[in-house]
Structure 1
Amino acid sequence: MLIIQDLEQIVRKVLPTDPSFRSVRQEELDNAIHKARQEALAHSSDEFLLSLMSLLALPGNGHTRLIPNDAISVLPLRFVTIGCAVRLVDAASDFSEAIGGELLSINGVPLREIERATETFLAGTQQRKRVIGPILFVWPSALQRLGITSGSDMIEYRVSNESGQISELLLNAENVVLGSTFYPRNEHGKADASWSPETFVSIKDFGQLGLLMVLPSFFDTSDTDLSNEISEAAGFVRSRPGAPLLIDVRGNTGGSFLQTLPLIDAISEGSEERKVGLLVDKFTFSAAIVFVAILKYRIGERLALIGEEMGDGLTFFAEGGIIDLCSSGACVRYSTAFHDWAGGRIDLTTPSEIAEEIVPVGKLRLDRRFVAHSDDIVSQDQFCRDVLESLTT
């Protein structure tokens, strides 16, 4: 099959369907389509995919994007943005000693300069760009397109550890692996790219201090497991109506917020003295953001938002689905529905079941900034104890 058929699929099925493209000038859209068509006719697969990334980034809607991970080859390094620093969190065994280090430059080009050059390929908020951008740093074709490499065989990464010691990682551009080996479709920020949650809800009881509730995902392919676990969690919360809660939705990339409403109800119906802490980060997306927004609307000042800015704002286009591009092997995430949890607005694209729940939250401001740098369980437990204690003082 010819890769130009992938472009035709996008032009026919995505552009007329996705309402976020209404904000794009027709001339700008036509130019991007023309560029992608040229790359397709030149049979340049990677250049074609990069052109599609730029095309789908035009609306600036983070939910609408090309996901190239299964169609490209990357160098065996996993970079993740932690805070504002890009860190090496996994790598082929030859480079394992540098894991944990901060990326400074590629082929002598400072990272911040590279990040600016990637802007046209990425859509959404600055936080979302920090989440999905690192795959471009290890995709040889992208580095060449950005002017970081000239097609030479070797690529040099400079990485600094906590003590400031610099490591120079020299990789052959030909020694690559499938992109999804190190970069999952839904980037969760964990060191292990293949990570998936073992459960939808886990609860740890800290006695009089309160409860820790971890909600790692709202994606449920079974259609029953999430609802069942949410129902059990809601019952447990009702059994402790005054206990402070610390809820962790870091790394939760979304799913169905509708299935989480019973838990929101249970929390809201508790004692008016109950305080709730919510841990969020840049890997908190979509339905997880809506969960935060509704809970904030329900309990107001009793909720403390802790962490860093989430991966999206409160106004966006979502729903839709994913289209697999058969010729290139990439896929497209497209949107069909308008969400405005800031102003509480809907339009004709907003599904009725979502429109019924939309509330005007205004802005979600952090009450306390925090970025985790350790997976150590003891450190995490102490942090949770400190936060729970702070909720009651």
Structure 2
Amino acid sequence: MIHDLELVLTQVLPIDPSFRVIGREEMDRCISDARRAALADSKDDFLLSLMRLMALPRNGHTRLIPNDAISVLPMRFLSIGSAVHLVAVKPALAKSIGDTLIAINGAPVRAIETAADQFLSGTGQRQRVIGSILFAWPKALERLGFTAGSSAIEYTMQSAAGHVTALKFETTDVVTGSIYYPRNEHGKPNASWSPDSFVEIKDFDELGLLISLPSFFDPCRGTLSDAMFGAARRVRSQPDSPLVIDLRGNTGGDFLKTLPLLDAITNGGGARRVGLLVDKFTFSAAIVFAALLKHRLGERLELIGEEMGDGLTFFAEGGSMELPDSGAVVRYSSAFHDWASGRVDETTPTEIAERVVPVRQLDLDRRWVIKSTDTRTFHEFCRNILSDLNT
């Protein structure tokens, strides 16, 4: 694992501009911790030390992703609204799916989140997204001081009806982390979920359209562009119709390929109103999409949901590096984005710098977190939004 550490020190930290504001002493302390863990052949401690190092800039795109390299208990937690919910678990405990996590070994969830803060990158919302894995990672709970090296972990759960139950797991009852926690956390109960398409459109007749945009990540290089042009044609065919655009769970990708759809939504007679759905699983290029919509539409855009996973100022681009010995992944950044005040610097790519605008802030107009996965319930909510936008 010393080799993994050297890769981070020589090929990641020197090129990631988010580390420019971090003091040398603070970095050296984290590096020394990682080196000691590597020499002791303690992989989990090594990974947690690297997580702490990569979290120093508080930049959500810069982080260690341990999911493929660690063992977790067979349970999937997600932060939904302000609470942590169990959304998947081994079949014998399926009746607890949907319950809220109250405590682990008697320690309240909030206490665990506070202790975990130093290991998690980004804003509070980003931390709630990527931090859920820590609740199921026995070695992390031990490092945080909530298991005291015990051979079993007890989870206190509360149902929607208020019934409290206890789930107990042996710390040896583990699986690979990525089975329950994907690298790019999308917020769906099924960890292996991937979008069927880049665009889904539902016509609510005279009320308007619902446009779901689940992802802007295009590994096939071309499919996303085709989908955006197709959606743009549909939007232009109904130039005055209100729209509800769903960006929940969109973890980003290439916002430049979404510009044809942005143009179709915002160009025209200036009467169109748009409701934009976002949540803590909305990241990166999806946030840029939201920022550009706000800049162009102003008060004609209603932002609905909860705070997104990142703010308007961050470092992005960059790439990912597999650490060959530990099996973890390092996500690093290379470019500055500031959609709050419209600033760029020498790291901002020209094609992005040309489009950066000062949005100032993206305040929610309506707070809303849907806890039901029922499509009919969601469509009824969208119908009500469109009705409001029509008045």
The TM-score range, normalised by the shorter chain, is over 0.9
User: Corresponding residue for 1:67?
Assistant: 65
- Paired residue type of 1:134: S
User: Corresponding residue for 1:375?
Assistant: 373
Which of 28, 40, 43 aligns to 2:41? It is 43
User: Corresponding residue for 1:122?
Assistant: 120
- Secondary structure of the 1:80 match is strand
- Secondary structure of the 1:118 match is helix
Q: How far apart are residue 272 of structure 1 and its match?
A: 1.3
Does 1:191 pair with 2:212? no
Looking at structure 2, the residues matched to 338 and 308 of structure 1 have their Cα atoms a distance apart, in angstroms, of: 24
User: Corresponding residue for 1:18?
Assistant: 16
Q: Deviations over 1:165-215 (max 9, x none)?
A: 011000010010000000000001100000000000010000110000000
Q: How does 1:1-393 map to 2 (within 5 A)?
A: 3-393=1-391
Looking at structure 1, the residues matched to 304 and 76 of structure 2 have their Cα atoms a distance apart, in angstroms, of: 26
Q: How far apart are residue 273 of structure 1 and its match?
A: 1.2
Looking at structure 2, the residues matched to 269 and 137 of structure 1 have their Cα atoms a distance apart, in angstroms, of: 46
Alpha-carbon RMSD across the aligned residues, in angstroms, is 0.6
Looking at structure 1, the residues matched to 375 and 133 of structure 2 have their Cα atoms a distance apart, in angstroms, of: 28
Looking at structure 2, the residues matched to 270 and 47 of structure 1 have their Cα atoms a distance apart, in angstroms, of: 56
- Secondary structure of the 1:264 match is helix
Looking at structure 2, the residues matched to 348 and 30 of structure 1 have their Cα atoms a distance apart, in angstroms, of: 27
Q: Deviations over 1:32-77 (max 9, x none)?
A: 1111101100100010000000000011111100000000000001
Looking at structure 2, the residues matched to 70 and 265 of structure 1 have their Cα atoms a distance apart, in angstroms, of: 39
Q: How far apart are residue 153 of structure 1 and its match?
A: 1.2
Looking at structure 2, the residues matched to 270 and 310 of structure 1 have their Cα atoms a distance apart, in angstroms, of: 28
Looking at structure 2, the residues matched to 244 and 270 of structure 1 have their Cα atoms a distance apart, in angstroms, of: 13
Looking at structure 2, the residues matched to 139 and 373 of structure 1 have their Cα atoms a distance apart, in angstroms, of: 25
Looking at structure 2, the residues matched to 106 and 93 of structure 1 have their Cα atoms a distance apart, in angstroms, of: 21
Q: How far apart are residue 271 of structure 1 and its match?
A: 3.0
- Paired residue type of 2:65: I
Q: How far apart are residue 123 of structure 1 and its match?
A: 1.4
- Paired residue type of 1:25: G
Q: How far apart are residue 317 of structure 1 and its match?
A: 0.3
Q: How far apart are residue 270 of structure 1 and its match?
A: 3.0
Q: TM-score, normalised by structure 2?
A: 0.99
- Secondary structure of the 1:343 match is coil
Q: How far apart are residue 95 of structure 1 and its match?
A: 1.3
Looking at structure 2, the residues matched to 34 and 183 of structure 1 have their Cα atoms a distance apart, in angstroms, of: 28
Looking at structure 1, the residues matched to 346 and 376 of structure 2 have their Cα atoms a distance apart, in angstroms, of: 49
Looking at structure 1, the residues matched to 305 and 58 of structure 2 have their Cα atoms a distance apart, in angstroms, of: 24
Looking at structure 2, the residues matched to 246 and 295 of structure 1 have their Cα atoms a distance apart, in angstroms, of: 12
Looking at structure 2, the residues matched to 156 and 231 of structure 1 have their Cα atoms a distance apart, in angstroms, of: 51
- Secondary structure of the 2:122 match is coil
